[in-house]
């Protein structure tokens, strides 16, 4: 399973990219707003850091306007993926952008039926939001499993991005289920990195080495 980072913070994107762990980025209007910077400038900077798909979301609610918004975004870089909301107008825009050879990511997917529709409309990626399902007392991971099963059974090539990730278990469970991608916030990537036994192990190796070398002097 590939890892994307879910943020619009270029410092975090650079940090994750330098570790070699990510191969794509997802943003959304909330994440862009949090940075308080020009949308297109941020997206351009991201494409200069990461050599992989970078999702940029439209905010219009009518298909023609979504396409109008998408075209200048797609022109920023060949790796731009247009993120569209899961709704009738979003699917219409998905069909039109797909016909133009522009990659799409249908977002805010909360059911397998929605994922199937997005795939049929030509989506390059679908983003089921598992954390937000967990938040309302449902089992978000069941949705990932269902979509993976359907796409495998039907030979659907649309890639599944496990989104709204809240913890490392979300990532490893999605990987176990055969999900294509997880888009992970920086704090969760850092949680994945850490294990107390690794830190203890490094300390002990260093102490043992110091003891050995000091005896040799």
The residues that are catalytic are 83
Of 29, 122, 131, 168, which one interacts with ligand E4P (CB under 6 A)?
A: 131
In whole angstroms, how far apart are CA 35 and each of 20, 104, 118, 167? 24, 23, 29, 22
| Helical residues (DSSP H) of 75-183, grouped into ranges | 88-99, 112-120, 130-135, 140-154, 168-176
Q: Which of 90, 48, 102 is nearest to 66 (CA)?
A: 90
* Residue 125 makes contact with ligand E4P by CB under 6 A: no
For residue 180, the minimal CB distance to ligand E4P (Å) is 14
Closer of 26 and 158 to ligand E4P (Cβ): 26
For residue 57, the minimal CB distance to ligand E4P (Å) is 8
**Sign of the C-alpha dihedral, residues 150, 153, 158, 164?**
positive
* Residue 26 makes contact with ligand E4P by CB under 6 A: yes
Interacting residues with ligand E4P between 143 and 162 (CB under 6 A): none
* Residue 124 makes contact with ligand E4P by CB under 6 A: no
- The helix (H) or strand (E) run that includes residue 85 is strand 80-85
For residue 210, the minimal CB distance to ligand E4P (Å) is 44
* Residue 164 makes contact with ligand E4P by CB under 6 A: yes
Phi, psi of 85 (to 5 degrees): -75, 150
Of 5, 6, 69, 115, which one interacts with ligand E4P (CB under 6 A)?
A: 6
CA angle, 54 as apex, 52 and 56 as ends, to 5°?
170
**Which chain residues interact with ligand E4P by CB under 6 A?**
6, 26, 28, 107, 127, 129, 131-132, 163-164, 183
């Amino acid at each position: 399973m590939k890892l994307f980072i879910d943020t619009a913070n270029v410092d975090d994107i650079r940090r994750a990219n330098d570790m070699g762990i990510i191969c794509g980025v997802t943003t959304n209007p909330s994440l862009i707003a949090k940075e308080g910077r020009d949308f297109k400038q941020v997206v351009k900077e991201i494409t200069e850091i990461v050599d992989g798909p970078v999702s940029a979301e439209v905010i219009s609610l009518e298909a023609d306007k979504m396409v109008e918004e998408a075209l200048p975004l797609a022109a920023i870089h060949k790796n731009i993926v247009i993120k569209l909301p899961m709704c009738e107008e979003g699917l219409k825009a998905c069909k039109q952008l797909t016909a133009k050879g522009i990659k799409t990511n249908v977002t805010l997917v909360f059911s397998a039926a929605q994922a199937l529709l997005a795939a049929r409309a030509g989506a390059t990626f679908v983003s089921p939001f598992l954390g937000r399902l967990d938040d309302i007392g449902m089992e978000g991971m069941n949705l990932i499993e269902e979509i993976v099963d359907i796409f495998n059974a039907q030979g659907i090539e649309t890639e599944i991005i496990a989104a709204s990730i809240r913890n490392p278990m979300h990532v490893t469970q999605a990987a176990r289920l055969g999900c294509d991608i997880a888009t992970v916030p920086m704090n969760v990537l850092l949680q994945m990195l850490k294990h107390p036994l690794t830190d203890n192990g490094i300390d002990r190796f260093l102490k043992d080495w110091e003891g050995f070398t000091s005896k040799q002097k």
